[in-house]
Amino acid sequence: MRMNESDLITWSDKFACGIKLIDDQHKELVELVNEMFNHVTGNGLQERDYFNRVIQEAVNYVKTHFATEEKLMLATKFPGYTEHKKEHESFILAVVDNINDYKAGKRLTLSTFTRFLKDWVLSHIALMDKKYFDYFKTIATRKADGKLSITADDVNNA
């Protein structure tokens, strides 16, 4: 993973759940926030141009991640699924509001937008995602290399 001195978030294993698919996606989200933050120049026009080029792809990536998690939660019969899905949905609504405000030139700057993303991503991983991490760990199979995986059997036995 690319690291830069001016990154806003430094990936740490404390964010990891041990399920490669999810950890890779979370790393990608961290990368996305850092990439955005590294385009904060203080030049409004430049920032707006960058934002307009990347924001849809960023939102799509977040949606893909949420869909992956939700599928895994359903497949493993995670009891906190509904609550978690609601958090995802309200985040997407908040992002869309922020995007509209940014595009309309209201208050937000690329820096504040990026910090909003950072705060949400970090607190969501630490609080909400952590709940299903713990659940996964109770049902996942530990392979010979020590990594966790969830198989159909794990799900059926959950």
Residues that bind ligand FEO (CB under 6 A): 26, 65-66, 69, 84, 88, 124-125, 128-129
Query: What is the four-CA torsion angle of 84, 87, 89, 93, rounded to 10 degrees?
Result: -170
The token duo for 78 is 């995670």
Q: C-beta of 61: minimal distance to ligand FEO in Å?
A: 12
Angle between helix 110-123 and helix 44-75 axes, rounded to 10 deg: 20
Q: Which residue, 40 or 125, is less far from ligand FEO as judged by CB?
A: 125
Structure tokens at 139: 């049902």
Least CB distance to ligand FEO at residue 87 (A): 7
Which residue reads 């001195």 in tokens? Answer: 5
Residue 99 beta carbon to ligand FEO: minimum distance, rounded to whole angstroms:
19
Give whichever of 47 and 129 is closer to ligand FEO, judged by the CB atom.
129
Given the complex with ligand FEO, which of 53 and 137 has the nearer CB atom?
A: 137
CA 101 to chain CA mean position, Å: 21
Our CB check for ligand FEO shows the closer of 7 and 70 to be: 70
